[in-house]
Amino acid sequence: MADTNKVALITGGAKGIGKGIALDLAAQGWSVAFCYRTSIEEAQTTALAITEKGGLGLPLWCDVSDPAKATDVVKQVELAWGRIDALIHCAGPYHRVNLLDETPEGWQEMFDHNLHPIFYLSRAAAEGMKARKSGRIITFSMANADQMVAQPEVTAHYIAKAGVLILTKTLAKLLAPHGITVNAISPGFIDSGSAPPGELAGIAKRIPAGYIGEVKDTVAAVRFLLSEDARYVNGANIQISGGWGI
């Protein structure tokens, strides 16, 4: 059944996993607003694809690391469509550098783009969700972020993703009385186009399932968390990793 009155806001929705989620929701009749920061051409392509899938697309440039801009983008969507039923945090850039070679700017960037926007956007979107007594918030962590292991090459990114899990659980506890669920998805190695081909080469043998995941695997988890079947799932962390990182 098409959710013709449902509205989603997706950060990082112009490409990769975010785009896959946007197109899946569009096929169900959702109106989909999505943020992008640098992917202008991809955003235009995704907006067109959303329309072709039968949904309404609204691409919005936004640097969600800026608290004022993050709050404003929520207001833009609510002004355009009157509501936000699902807030999906897909933005999560990373860089690979040894911790001892990391710069203060690079360190801060990982938190500014992976952790802090979840606080800014969720706080802003929660107001309307609370008023309607319904809403879904989905965050993205990483498959082994709950293991608390050393990560010499992606240290700040890893710490930020561990923080995402704590923030997710905290939001879930605070917002549950208002009919809102907040859950995390933690992908492992997904062929989403974000990782260099060389980085994925040879990884499959380290994954118990024996293969790299696809965007559709993550999309399926999002579809479940947004469904009525998941109405009592709150504060969960769903691993999409083929058994890697557990």
Average pLDDT of adjacent 10-residue blocks, the chain of 246 residues = 76 95 97 92 95 95 96 98 98 93 97 98 98 98 95 97 98 98 97 74 89 96 98 98 93
Which one of the listed residues 36, 94, 120, 158 is annotated catalytic?
A: 158
pTM value is 0.95
Rg over alpha carbons for the chain, rounded to the nearest Å, is 17
Distance in angstroms (rounded) separating the CA atoms of residues 19 and 47? 9
pLDDT number for residue 103 = 98
Would you call 240 exposed, middle or buried from its count of C-beta atoms within 10 A (0-12, 13-18, 19+)? buried
Distance in angstroms (rounded) separating the CA atoms of residues 145 and 186? 8
Task: Using the Cα atoms of residue 113, residue 114, residue 118 and residue 120 in order, give the sign of their dihedral.
Answer: negative
**Eight-state DSSP code of residue 101:** G
pLDDT number for residue 2 = 46
**Eight-state DSSP code of residue 13:** T
Q: Could you tell me the CA-to-CA distances from 225 to 10, 135, 182, 219 in Å, in that order?
A: 15, 11, 9, 10
The CATH architecture one would assign to domain 7-240 is: 3-Layer(aba) Sandwich (3.40)
232 is catalytic: no
Burial 16-52 (b: 16+ CB within 10 A, else e): bbbbbbbbbbbebbbbbbbbbbebeebbeebbeebee
pLDDT number for residue 245 = 86
pLDDT number for residue 110 = 97
Q: Where are the domains of the chain?
A: 7-240
Tokens (6 digits) for 43: 């955003």
Residue 12 — left, alpha, or beta (φ > 0 → left; ψ -120 to 50 → alpha)?
left
Helices (H) and strands (E) in the chain, counts: 8, 9
Distance in angstroms (rounded) separating the CA atoms of residues 85 and 132? 9
Helix, strand, or coil (residue 49)? helix
pLDDT per position as a tens digit, 16-75? 999 999 999 999 999 999 999 888 899 999 999 999 999 999 999 999 999 999 999 999
